[in-house]
Chain A
């Protein structure tokens, strides 16, 4: 009975969602604030990736909130894991030679690729979150393939804290010299489509990249290494 009620509810929900969204003009005309972003975003921020301009500059305060939420989630998970009495269910086996060699070859390349993504966040698709995640997955690859690989936890949390403080300080610099929090007129904007352009946007995205990368790496290290040795 409850199952069927759930199915009926889902069908009704889907029907009404489809009805509502079908009445929106999808990608046809823009008005209000989105029209301003599309028409004047590149002129105002000189970043060739408009998505980054919106995420880091116009909606920069939301991104700061997102980074804070990620930090809180990581802290809560670390706390939960420290009280966990998890035991290993499966015997940990040595990874094969192919996996080990491949992971050693891929590790620096993945770190480089992640850094490339967040340094070029204002030019090409991607940014701090994507680049940081790629770096964290590189660390995870090494952790899964090698027993002896232990990232320096203290260094990771120091980098994470410094990156978070950098983001907030850039915001306050905008408040003091630019007129509003995260204002993008404190350093020269430069020329469109160059690496050194778009004012503070690349600086913020590099900070976000470092923060997300070190945060997720630390989190994964915690998760893999909390299992008690017997």
Chain B
């Protein structure tokens, strides 16, 4: 039961972080929030007994994608106009 409440907390955390990533003007903060969404999603996948998907999500979603976006920000601008 307590695990289900924890999952519910994680899902709402994902929702909040996703909304923050869309709304904030600081693109670096948005990218970090989006990476955090992926990290929480991988925990949720682990709870749903899909460790293969959880590993992919953690490695690609939270690791590579975040860093590729950071490289892109370094080549353009940090703040949304």
Q: Which residues from chain A contact B44 at a C-beta distance below 8 Å?
A: none
Say yes or no: A125 contacts B52, CB within 8 Å. Answer: yes
Say yes or no: A133 contacts B63, CB within 8 Å. Answer: yes
User: Count of chain B residues with Cβ under 8 Å from any Cβ of A?
Assistant: 16
Q: Mark B58-81, 1 if CB is under 8 A from A, else 0.
A: 011001100110010011110000
Which A residue sits closest to B68, measured CB to CB? A223
Q: Which residues from chain B contact A52 at a C-beta distance below 8 Å?
A: 52
Distance (whole angstroms) from the CB of B63 to the closest CB of chain A: 5
Chain A interface residue bracket vs B? 20 to 34
A residues bordering B, Cβ < 8 Å? 49, 51-52, 86, 88-90, 117, 125-127, 129-130, 133-134, 136-137, 140, 144, 216, 220, 223-224, 227
| Smallest CB-CB A-B distances: 3 pairs | A125-B51, A133-B59, A130-B55
Task: Name 16 interchain pairs, CB-CB below 8 A, sorted by A.
Answer: A49-B52, A51-B52, A52-B52, A88-B75, A125-B54, A125-B55, A126-B51, A130-B52, A130-B55, A133-B63, A134-B59, A137-B59, A140-B64, A220-B64, A220-B67, A223-B71
